[in-house]
Structure formats: C-alpha cells, structure tokens
Chain A
C-alpha cells in the first residue's frame, strides 16, 4: 500500500503556447526537487494556449508548493489539482508483443477484445496494440499481456479534464481576457 500522504496528484495547467513556458515548468520540477511521473502537452481549443497534464507524487505540502510555484510562472494562466475532482482521465498505450505461437495469438486477441483495445500493426511474430483508458485499465492490461513478452512500449501519460456536470469547467474563457 502506498502511504496516503504520498499519493499521485493529477495537475492540470493552462499555459501560453510558447517554447519558454514548457521549459520553465520542467525546470521548476528539477530545480525544486519535485518528482514528476508523467507530463503531457497539447494545445487546447485555443491554439495559443496549451494544456499540460502532469502527474506528480508527494505529500500535501509538496503538492501545494508545486501548484503555487507553477502559478508564479508568468506564462501560466491557471493551475488546478484535479486529483479529487470528478474527471475524465485517459492515457494512450502502444505496445508491441510477441505472438510466436497460435496460443499466444489467441490470448492476445482475447485480451484485446476484453479491454476494447485494437491491434494496429502486425508482423509474422508480433502484434502492436493500441489501448486508451484510465491508468488502472492500462496497468491491468499490461499486467495480463506481460507473460506473452513485451518487445517495446510507449505510454503518453495522463490527460485529464473535469466532468461537465461538476459545474466548474476549467478553461473559462472569460478569465483569460
């Protein structure tokens, strides 16, 4: 069991889509000694604004500091800890596995079906599988597929968004004006 005070936090950051902005954010983590588990960047509905979703681990004090330090960055609009919000939380996995026997092929197909994944590339002895899901689903899928033999994998890290009915959607346009 993980100590509750060191749980993973999902932090969402809206930031100017500029090269220096991302550099400042990453540097903040290294210079202040914070641990970052994953980080994901992409632009939002407004191409001049990027959303960074990061997962960081630490006690409440550390996470509070991370949020406050992120807010100090000039190019940052808004920072929120989404950990305890009702949210949509997804990750994309691409994994290439060994399927050098018919049994393995069958087992792979079965797991792909159960998890709603997709086989997106094949060779005579490998399948490349794509899966989208929350972190637990992705972890569970990997756990089950591992015995077949993982050749190579890539995970995006999480992207997250607060559910609409929470009533406090994050990217409120008015605040940017």
Chain B
C-alpha cells in the first residue's frame, strides 16, 4: 500500500493500539495534522506543548499503556522538554513525535529549527531522527517497543517535514511482525541462584523491611509484593513512586520513607538487618545520608535496570529482572524456606511489635484547628469524600508530601506525581491525561497556589474536551516548600516566596469555563467537596485558603540521616491514634 509519511505514521499508531494522543500543531507537522481527521485516533489539543507531554504522561501512568504526544519543530519541541524529562526520570513509557524542518534544510538555522534529538538525548531512553520515509514505519515500531519494554522510558521520534509528505510502501503484515533490535535485549527473568539466596536471607532475617519503589507499580507486581510481605511477615515501606503498590491501610504498611517519610518507616529502615528493595533506586530523597541508610542491613536489590544496582548503595544480593517475574519465582522459594524455620514467626512477631510501637508513638500528626483550614485536613476530607477511590494527581511542594502522607491509596496507579524531576505545573495537565485514560474514576488534582499558576491554562483544555477533572488548590499564598526550607535552614529569610498577589481563582476558573469555589473555613471544607463531586460536566477548581505557615513533618534535614528526622511538636497532647 502506498501512503504518505503522515499516513504511515497514523496507521502505525493505530496498529500500536493508540487511540488517544495529546498535541499541538504547527508548521512542521502540518502534513500529519492534515491527515489526522481521517484517522480514528482522537487528538486532544492542549494549550501548551508542555501540557501535551504531561497529559500523555498522566495517561500512561494510570493506564500502563504508552502515552503519545505531538509537537511541531523548534519551540514546539523545546516546550515538550520538561514534560519528557518528567516522564523519563519516573520511567513512564511515552513516545513523542516532533516535526522538524525538511531534511535538506537541517543544520541551516531554518525557521523554527532546533536540534531536537540533540536537546532531548539526555532525557530520553532513545531517540530517532527519521531521514527517509522508507524507515518511518520501522522506526515507529522500534520507538514503541523501546518505550514499553525493559525499564520503561521516553522515546522521541523527530520527523522532518518532507519525510511526512513523501510516499512509501507500507505493509501492515510486516509491521505486525515482532520487533528486532539486535543491540537491545532487556533481561527480564531473575537469576535462579540469586533468587534462592534471597529467599534464604528473607527467611532467616530477624528484622527485614520491604522497600517498594515505582518499578513494582509499573511491572504490575503490587499484589505479589504484598503477598510476599504477608507470607514472610515483613513490614513494608514505599517511595513516593511506589506508594500505590500497597493498600494504605494494610497492617504491615508503614507509609512512605525518606525526607518526609513516617517515623516508623524511617526507623524500620535504619534498624533493619535485611533491606529488600524492589523496583527502587535509592534516590537521595529516600536515603538521606547514604552511610547511615540501613547501616546494618544486608541488601537485596531487585531491579530491571542493572545500572541501578550498586549505583548508590552496596548490594549483597542483586537480582536483575522484571519485579513481577522475579517475585513470581521468589515467593514459592520464600514459602519453602519459611516452613523450614521453626522460630520464624516468634522472631518476626518481635520485630513487627517494635515497628508498630514506633508508629503508635510517633504517628503523622498536625495541630487541628477550628479557625483556619489545615492543608492536611483538606486531604483527609478529599480522601473521605472520594472514599479513597479517586485518582490523585499532584504538583510539587508541600501539598505533594501531604498527599503522600494523608491520602491512603487503595489500588496501584492511583497516584500520579512527578517524583524524580519534581515538576511544578505537572498536576493539571496530568489530571487531564489521567481522566481521559480512566474516565470511570474521579480524578482529583491536589495542587498549590504556586504550582497551579504554572499550567493553569490547561483548564481550558479540560473545558474544550469535556474532561471533568477536579482541582484542589491548597492556597497558602506562599511557595510553601521553599518557604519551609527558608524558615528552617535560612533563618526565616523569606526571599521571593510570597505569592499573595494572585488571580481570583474562582473568577479565573469561571472565565475559562469551569466551576470555581473558594473555601475559607474548616467547617465548609466537606460541604464544598461534596458539592464539587456532583459536578461531572465541567472541570471544578476549589481554592482552599489554608493555614499559611504549616510545615511538612517529619522532615529529614538535607544530608542528614533518616533517624535525624525533625518531628512535629505534637502540640499539648499527643494524637491518640496514627492517622
């Protein structure tokens, strides 16, 4: 079949199972957009290319499918950059297509020309510049394969305008044949000998902890990891990216670890004699001072990316492989070993009691108020009103950490947040992508007044495409996390963090075609949330005017050891139960 490059691209996307894409047209992609109306693929026009990249990312995170975005050359491509870097560092499968100037003009500083593959090389798993329409179909096929296999990541395909215009043969049957990339063969199955060693270590450890990362969520290993914890009585902690792998109210779950982790999680890791890391990468926000991270523990590290093993922390039992496949092999081995060890449950019981005593003694806590709205309280109310079933997207800052602490997730892929890159402005467009990927779920973007203003234009996108997302702005009139650091480490020298000059978010939302609310009293929080839940034909933005100087605790000072956490003051009387 003879097709133009644009037609080949769209047909190939269809064969990849893509039915929704996010993008923004421009000169270099005119030929693609010219053919788009004749394709069954639905295109969501955003208001900024960054929004398209984040939406594709949000879509991919909630569905597990590859997210796809389009942009034109030059500024279109550079506007994608933050979005692609965000997805890539969190190992989200996204394929981006950018237009470029025709092949004969490349390198000429032509209008809207940039070296897109050069710019995006460090923030993609791989990228391609297609110079000949004959290579296009094969390149698209490889791009999807690379994005979704092994450790998932971002792949960018740069398409010079002439490549999208020219005609070539397209053979569907050939497209459907398996991909061959001779230099790329990801290792998926764990080494059986290492798995046996790991099982033995798990069964004989006195104080083990499971340290669960985003890899568990993306490989679909959440149930298995929880089963492992239950079979071998192991307390669990998770990173920001791994939080949704474990039901938030699971009796063995200690909550998040790291800089804003719970006391119990951070102490358990500090005191453990066996650390079982699954799909996690020992990021500095997790480990604090490395030398004091699980200082007395033997370390098992299961990861699909061998470069992550031993990168930051020395590992005793490395297992390279897909978390799900490795856990499938590991579980029966652990079961066998546990039966052999008669002392097992008695030894474990002691450890679990100790960990629980930490959780009871130093729970997450904030000083409740009848006068001002506490940001943590808003998150607890959102949790209640959504019955813990909403997909939550966040921006970056204090609100993000409070979400991680106070929203108890129920199922994998329920939290969409920029963990590695920490991208403010991610929440709203990611919520749009998430809602499009999971229209059956309530999608709540929990944001801050600073972050929301970074990509608030995307509310218009939600209105145009009838995507009824909900946004809660925890508005403290500050860049709260920066203010918190300035408060604790820079003598309260609040430099350039005042955000008291703001748009009227209610009017602004209404001007964009959504519904806006403002809540100023704690008594109104629940009522307005319930009202917002009834609106399902438009986006809703709720501006919660919250306590201005609330800090996120616990907090491990940068460069400090996890056990050196700053705890909340616990007020006059300590909270009775862990929240």
Contacts and interface: CB of A to CB of B under 8 A. Distances in A.
Interface of A: 15-16, 20, 23-24, 27, 31, 61, 64-65, 68-69, 71-72, 74-77, 176-177
Given A20-B117, A76-B183, 12 more contacts: A16-B183, A20-B129, A23-B118, A64-B310, A68-B307, A71-B306, A74-B126, A74-B181, A74-B184, A77-B182, A77-B183, A177-B182
9 contacts: A16-B183, A20-B129, A24-B121, A64-B310, A68-B311, A71-B307, A72-B305, A74-B184, A76-B183
Contacts of B311: 65, 68
Contacts of B435: none
Contacts of B310: 61, 64
Given A74-B181, A77-B183, A65 B307 contact: yes
Contacts of A69: 307
Nearest to A68: B307
| Range class of the B interface residue count | 10 to 19
A119 B311 CA distance: 49
A63 B223 CA distance: 37
Interface string B173-194: 0000000011110000000000
Contact of A23 (B121, B183, B307): B121
Contacts of A74: 125-126, 146, 181, 183-184
Top 10 closest pairs, chain A to chain B, by CB: A68-B307, A74-B126, A77-B183, A74-B184, A31-B122, A69-B307, A72-B307, A176-B182, A75-B183, A68-B306
A20 B121 contact: yes
A168 B305 CA distance: 25
Contacts of A20: 117, 121, 127-129
Contacts of A64: 310
A68 to B, nearest CB: 4
B187 to A, nearest CB: 10
Interface in B292-316: 305-307, 310-311
Contacts, number: 39
A105 B122 CA distance: 52
Contacts of B125: 74
B114 to A, nearest CB: 15
Q: Could you tell me the dominant secondary structure of chain A's interface residues?
A: helix
A68 B129 CA distance: 25
A75 B184 CA distance: 7
A24 B121 CA distance: 7
Question: Which of A20, A74, A77 has the most B CB atoms < 10 Å from its CB?
Answer: A74
Nearest to B151: A72
Contacts of A16: 183
A64 B311 CA distance: 9
Contacts of B305: 72
B463 to A, nearest CB: 40
Interface in B308-342: 310-311
A77 B181 CA distance: 10
A132 B250 CA distance: 68
A27 B182 contact: no
Nearest to B314: A61
Interface in B147-188: 181-184
Contacts of A15: 183
A33 B487 CA distance: 33
A27 B183 contact: no
Contacts of A27: 121-122
A127 B159 CA distance: 51
Nearest to A32: B122
B294 to A, nearest CB: 18
Contacts of A23: 118, 121
Contacts of B126: 74-75
Nearest to A74: B126
Nearest to B142: A74
Contacts of B307: 65, 68-69, 71-72
B312 to A, nearest CB: 10
Contacts of A176: 182-183
A16 B128 CA distance: 13
B155 to A, nearest CB: 9
A15 B121 CA distance: 17
A75 B181 CA distance: 9
A74 B122 CA distance: 13
Contacts of B306: 68, 71
Interface in B87-135: 117-118, 121-122, 125-129
A133 B314 CA distance: 39
Contacts of B128: 20
Contacts of A68: 306-307, 311
Nearest to A15: B183
A5 B71 CA distance: 47
